[in-house]
């Protein structure tokens, strides 16, 4: 054999042996699937994802297709846990491409698509999953959320949301909470670089969370965030602080290692001057296997609300409460209306009947959504009646396809909440929100019957919510009030020398700005006032039905002014004899008086008078606006009317045919 050929064979053989050794060493010391699975089981999703990704890239697409499918699936699970919806979607689609078989794969793809805001695609994936599991509550709730999300986007809301830059770092910042009602201090959790612990979180890959705080300076501005001093922050994850009403006790969650897996417990810390003491574990139950987190103290300091996966819940994590003044036997689950088979978290109790929380079990836009639950009053006649909650999704922009949670309130409808929207890494950030007060007004004018502003008019408005306002009209008769939505109001306008006028209305309950217009027309005392829309058949004194609405208003006016006596006068046009017209007008005036008497007005307060054609009308500003062909101040006498065209003669005759009242006395006594 050729010597050179023999050398080449030896070199090739040695090379193959070395490659085999290297592959063996890589298998022994490189990343292993077992390591990744164990990290995932411990909840260390960042570390698990790192190993799964390395293994995925190592294996051949054709020869190891099934294994790549499994790794893609597990990688998708990690991304889903890390709130990385777009990465999870891509990973699950790879698992499907490699024909990986898992009964939940299509459901998980749908959930990741929903988190990524791909609602149409998510609905298709949810429906595909329902073909294999028709009773899946997760798929049904997911479809409902995907159907509602575009509607919520289109409708929007009055909330204004902005990223609160003073909170946010390059890492996660979340769960803001005011110390007390003074709103001078606000605490939050952060994994920023100046957090105390040196250890990296195996869950997120960032530093473990510490509690920081802001305080307001003399001008009310928030200062730079500071790390809480004392023994509060440790090498463990601390976060989600809550406080007793007086701000003296902090409740916080702490993630600690108890063999497997990582567990979360609630601790308390008390404040000594400006520092917080080392936290002590708050014992809720003797159960050491369950997690306890997301504490919140009720405004009256009686209840600690918290979240747990302990047995006895509805599924996932539930919101519970325990009586801080008497812990024995007072542990309560908030029940199936609030809690679902999914996860309810981060409760915030504003009043006894108003609860805010986050959930991925109620239909939402994706991940955790913010909800508000309003407790309805029980039926006092039904002793078996249970608490009933009305639960509403807070809509856009408070919610997004990402996780939205951890809400806290400052003044009125303003405050902060947490969200990982817009961050591909899944990091949480703090956002501010404000819901501006509704701008609801009522405005109008106070004028007399001739459309002239009433001088020195006063307007009063009383609401069934207990509000009571009073204002004076401007010189031009205009006025304006601020109102509240969904309130019934009674209004009255008055002025010296005029009869009062009142109106009632109810403001719209819609969540939108609105302005209502109400004009008051006051009748001057001791001056003839026309009653509009009084009708008779030709040459008759019988009132037509369409006259009764105007006369009912007259009844109301007389009942509102029980001490006045009026003359009820009727006038005719020039057609017919003077004697006949006088008699016809007297009968017509009597018809009006009879109607008023039949509706409860004493006869002694009513004086019927028929004037026939003897008192032609003088054109007022109001009449001129209706009939501009007649100059203001013109008296419509028979001689004047005869000079007009036939059409204008008919208009003038119509003006002269009228019913009027004049106040004769204001001191009537029964």
- Domain range annotation of the chain: 1-29, 30-155, 160-378+385-434, 440-522, 529-665
pLDDT at residue 159 greater than cutoff 70: yes
* Of 244, 296, 246, nearest in space to 266 by CA: 296
Select the CATH number that applies to the domain covering 440-522 from these four: 3.30.420.480, 3.90.1260.10, 3.40.50.300, 2.60.40.10. Answer: 2.60.40.10
Q: Where are the alpha helices (DSSP H) in 493-577?
A: 548-560
Would you state the structure tokens that stand for residue 316, as one six-digit string?
């996932």
Q: Give yes or no for a contact between 348 and 356, defined as CB atoms under 8 angstroms apart.
A: yes
Tell me whether the CATH fold assigned to 30-155 matches the one assigned to 440-522.
no
Reference 617, options 608, 607, 604, 626; nearest CA is 626
Taking Cα atoms as reference points, which of 576, 554, 548, 596 lies closest to residue 657? 576
Does residue 10 register a pLDDT over 80? no
For the record, the structure tokens of 291 come out as 């997690």
Instruction: List the 529-530 sheet strands across, edge first.
Output: 529-530, 658-665, 565-571, 606-612
- Residue identified by tokens 């105390």 is 196
pLDDT tens, position by position, 250-282: 999 998 754 445 589 999 999 887 789 999 999
Measure the CA–CA gap between 475 and 530, rounded to whole angstroms. Answer: 24
Distance CA 343, CA 330 (A): 22
Say how many CA atoms lie within 13 Å of 82 toward its Cβ. Answer: 30
Which pLDDT score is estimated for 227? 92
What class, spelled out in words, does domain 30-155 have in CATH?
A: mainly alpha
Total Cβ atoms within 10 A of residue 380: 7
Written as six digits, the tokens of 514 are 């609105």
Predicted structure pTM score? 0.70
What pLDDT, on the 0 to 100 scale, is given for residue 19?
38
Model confidence pLDDT, tens digit, residues 538-563: 677 788 888 888 899 899 899 989 99
Alpha-carbon torsion (652, 636, 529, 613), positive or negative: negative
Opening angle at CA 355, ends 396 and 140, nearest 5: 55
pLDDT tens profile 451-471: 899 988 999 999 998 899 999
Is the domain 529-665 a CATH 3.30.230.10 member? no
Q: Which residue has the tokens 């005759």?
A: 653
**CATH architecture of structural domain 160-378+385-434:** 6 Propeller (2.120)
Structure tokens at 475: 């010189």
**For 42, which DSSP code?**
T
Q: Which two tokens stand for residue 386?
A: 């249970």
- Give yes or no for residue 7 having a pLDDT over 70: no
Q: What is the mean pLDDT of the chain?
A: 88
Question: Is pLDDT at 183 greater than 90 in this prediction?
Answer: yes
62-100 confidence digits (pLDDT tens): 778 888 999 999 999 999 888 888 899 999 999 999 999
Q: What is the mean pLDDT of residues 429-437?
A: 94
For 488-526, the pLDDT digits (tens) are 999 999 999 999 998 888 887 777 788 889 999 999 988
Eight-state DSSP code of residue 236: S
Mean pLDDT of 420-440: 90
Other residues' Cβ atoms within 10 Å of the Cβ of residue 472: 12
């Amino acid at each position: 054999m050729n010597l050179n050929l023999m050398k080449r064979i030896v070199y090739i053989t040695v090379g193959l042996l070395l490659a085999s050794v290297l592959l063996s060493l890589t298998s022994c010391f490189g990343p292993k699937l077992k390591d990744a699975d164990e990290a995932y089981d411990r909840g260390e999703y960042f570390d698990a994802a790192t190993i799964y990704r390395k293994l995925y890239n190592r294996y051949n697409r054709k020869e190891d297709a099934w294994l790549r499918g499994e790794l893609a699936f597990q990688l998708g699970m990690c991304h889903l846990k890390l709130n990385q919806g777009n990465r999870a979607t891509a990973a699950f689609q790879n698992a499907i491409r490699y024909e990986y078989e898992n009964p939940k794969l299509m459901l998980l793809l749908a959930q990741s698509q929903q988190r990524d805001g791909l609602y149409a695609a998510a609905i298709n994936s949810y429906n595909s999953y329902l073909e294999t599991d028709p009773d899946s509550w997760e798929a049904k709730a997911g479809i409902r959320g995907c159907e509602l999300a575009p509607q919520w986007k289109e409708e929007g809301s009055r909330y204004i949301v902005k990223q609160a830059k003073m909170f946010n770092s390059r890492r996660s910042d979340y769960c803001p909470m005011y110390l007390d009602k003074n709103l001078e201090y606000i605490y939050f959790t952060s994994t920023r670089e100046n957090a105390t612990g040196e250890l990296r979180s195996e869950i997120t890959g960032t530093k473990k969370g510490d509690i920081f705080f802001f305080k307001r300076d003399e001008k009310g501005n928030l200062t730079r965030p500071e790390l809480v001093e004392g023994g509060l922050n440790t090498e463990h994850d601390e976060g989600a602080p809550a406080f007793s009403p007086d701000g003296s006790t902090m409740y916080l969650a702490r993630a600690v290692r108890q063999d497997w897996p990582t567990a979360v417990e609630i601790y308390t810390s008390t404040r000594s001057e400006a520092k917080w003491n080392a936290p002590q574990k708050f014992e809720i139950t003797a159960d050491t296997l369950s997690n306890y987190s997301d504490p919140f103290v009720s405004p009256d300091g009686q209840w600690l609300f918290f979240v747990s996966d302990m047995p006895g819940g509805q599924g996932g994590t539930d919101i519970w409460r325990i009586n801080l003044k008497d812990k024995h036997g007072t542990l309560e689950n908030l029940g199936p209306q609030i809690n679902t088979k999914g996860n309810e978290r981060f409760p915030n109790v504003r009043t006894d009947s108003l609860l805010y929380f986050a959930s991925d079990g109620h239909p939402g836009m994706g991940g955790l959504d913010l909800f508000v639950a309003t407790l309805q009053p029980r039926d006092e006649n039904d002793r078996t009646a249970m608490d009933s909650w009305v639960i509403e999704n807070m809509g856009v922009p408070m919610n997004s396809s990402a996780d939205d949670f951890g809400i806290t309130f400052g003044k009125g409808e303003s405050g902060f909440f947490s969200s990982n929207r817009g961050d591909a890494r899944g990091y949480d950030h703090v956002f501010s929100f404000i819901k501006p007060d509704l701008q609801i007004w009522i405005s109008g004018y106070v004028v007399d019957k001739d459309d002239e502003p009433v001088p020195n008019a006063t307007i009063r408005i009383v609401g069934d919510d207990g509000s009571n306002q009073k204002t004076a009209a401007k010189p031009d008769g205009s006025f304006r009030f601020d109102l509240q939505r969904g309130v019934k109001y009674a209004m009255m306008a008055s002025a010296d020398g005029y009869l009062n006028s009142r109106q009632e209305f109810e403001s719209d309950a819609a969540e939108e700005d609105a302005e209502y217009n109400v004009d008051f027309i006051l009748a001057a005392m001791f001056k003839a006032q026309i009653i509009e829309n009084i009708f008779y058949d030709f040459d008759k004194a019988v009132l037509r039905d369409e006259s009764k609405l105007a006369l009912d208003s007259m009844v109301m006016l007389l009942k509102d002014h029980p001490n006045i006596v009026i003359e009820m006068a009727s006038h005719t046009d020039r057609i017919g004899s003077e004697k006949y017209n006088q008699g016809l007008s007297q009968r017509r005036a009597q018809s009006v008086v009879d109607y008023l008497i039949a509706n409860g007005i004493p006869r002694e307060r009513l004086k019927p008078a028929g004037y026939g054609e003897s008192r032609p009308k003088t054109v007022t500003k109001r009449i001129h606006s209706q009939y501009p062909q007649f100059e203001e101040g013109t008296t419509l006498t028979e001689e004047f009317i005869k000079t007009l065209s036939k059409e204008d003669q008919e208009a003038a005759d119509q003006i002269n045919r009228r019913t009027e009242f004049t106040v004769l006395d204001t001191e009537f006594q029964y």
